[in-house]
Amino acid sequence: MASPDATAGGGRMSLTAKILIAMGGGIVTGLILNAIDLGFLNSLLVDGLFTMIGTIFMNALKMLVVPLVIFSLICGVAGIGDIGALGRVGGKSLVLYIATTALAIMMAIGVSLIIGPGSGFEMSGVEVGSVAGKEAPSAWSVIADIVPSNPIAAAANGQMLQIIFYVIVLAVAALMLGDISKPFLQGCEYMNELMMKIVEIVMHFAPYGVFCLIAKVFAQEGLVVFLPVLGYVSSLVLALVLHCFVVLMIIFKATSGLSPVTFLKKMWPTQVFAFSTASSSATIPVNYRNVTERMGADQSVASFTIPFGATINMDGTAIMQGVATVFIANVYGVDLGVSGYLTVIGMAVLASIGTAGVPGVGMVMLTMVLGQVGLPLDGIAIILGVDRLMDMLRTAVNVTGDAMVTVVVAKTEGKLDIAKFNDPDAALESGHELDIDPEAEKRLADAVHPQGHSPAE
Ligand code: ASP
């Protein structure tokens, strides 16, 4: 099966190259539209065409998430072999996700304390009382909410932890039933294949979707919004880059022994998806496909760790909260002290477990963190203008953490195809994977409507 990197036959450009070009084209187009006021044409393009195509693309990705997670996880649990292994995968990924998130925010606080963004910031223009806070969830309620009272509602609302819990119970029960579950599991296997095919179809339109999503953001935001908060932005970008390319890669090398360079090269297309959608949840189908088909992680591990990570693991978001807290504390001249920063670390980790990876959720989490340490929520108004772009960047870091942990857990469980991981061309097969085979189509039609029976009969 082809991957996000799939190259069409006949030497045509790879999908990754197309997506990267779309990203660059989107940035340039957006900035041009932001700089030149073309009046009616601007709104026709940005609010009309780009928004419409971007929304279609986001919806197409999101429509895949719940069915893909359900069927791949059922197949994953059924294929894992023993229930003990399932517990180990869960335990290892939970520890790694929490540890990397905690490390991310500690590093972010350290970097910002050294750089000191926000000291001497001019508060004029900040609307007082414009930001409403949100209460932090308690650890008890986060845990209690994992068990859904209504699995259909959980699926309808995309409640990932509830879906994962329910599906694992379902799959384990199916295994307990033994042989009579065979048709059910075969059906799920088929549904999983079908979902992966739809991912492939949606991926073909990715360059257009990526272009429109990115062009829209840059046309609306421009670059001038960065100037007043350059200190915040540069500290944040530095911390994100350090975490993604240094901290995570040291952990990756130390725990798996695999090449970080190979990992990062294969991670590119997925990062671009996360960047353009600003949503770890919408990136689940792409990330799952990449780690299984390009990096060689077994489905039994990835079907659990990728959706689990998209929900509880948010290194980039935690980094934003660390940098933003130091920035806002500096703006208001508040010294949080060691206990204040420890509270920030604890809150950020807890908040990232309890909230789903969707655009803008990091800002909601920030209101919880600031409220807890007594910083004014109005500080958020200062950085709100640049948040969409920062959201895109931190989401790319979030999904990198999910993939890194998946490969590490798969490797330590003996569930990683190392040859596939090391093969730069893995799943880069050429072909016309979206073509329908006319022979197969005819066979299927004959099977559904046997000779001599028309569909109307
Ligand atoms: N957009 C981020 C994600 O989906 C969450 C956030 O930082 O707002 O992972």
Domains located in the chain, CATH noted: 10-425 (1.10.3860.10)
Residues framing ligand 1 (Cβ under 6 A) = 278-280, 314, 317, 357-362, 391, 394-395, 398
Q: Which of 97, 317, 380 to mutate to test the pocket of ligand 1 (most atoms within 8 A of CB)?
A: 317
Lowest mean pLDDT among 82-86, 97-101, 174-178, 282-286: 82-86
Q: What average pLDDT does this structure show over 108-124? A: 81
Distance 318 CA to ligand 1 centre (A): 10
For ligand 1, atom 3, which residue shows the shortest CA distance?
357
pTM: 0.86
In the block, which residue shows the tokens 């869960």?
A: 90
Q: Rounded distance, CA 2 to CA 23, Å? A: 22
Contact yes or no for 326/117 (Cβ under 8 A)? yes
Q: Which residue has the higher pLDDT, 85 or 114?
A: 114
Ligand 1: nearest atom to the Cα of 278: 1
For residue 316, the cross-strand partners are: none
C-alpha to C-alpha distances, 110 to 115, 178, 249, 318, 379, nearest whole angstrom: 9, 53, 19, 13, 20
144 pLDDT tier (thresholds 50, 70, 90): confident
For ligand 1, atom 6, which residue shows the shortest CA distance?
362
User: What pLDDT is stored for residue 137 in this prediction?
Assistant: 66
66-67-71 Cα angle (round to 5): 120
Q: Which of 286, 311, 395, 402 to mutate to test the pocket of ligand 1 (most atoms within 8 A of CB)?
A: 395
pLDDT digits (tens, 9 = 90+) for 232-268: 999 999 999 999 999 999 999 999 999 999 999 999 8
Nearest residue to 175 via CA among 188, 161, 162, 191: 188
Q: What is the DSSP string of 424-446?
A: TTTT---S-TTS--HHHHHHHHH
Q: Which of 244, 271, 279 to mutate to test the pocket of ligand 1 (most atoms within 8 A of CB)?
A: 279
Q: Rounded distance, CA 183 to CA 230, Å? A: 59
DSSP annotation of 147: S
For residue 394, the cross-strand partners are: none
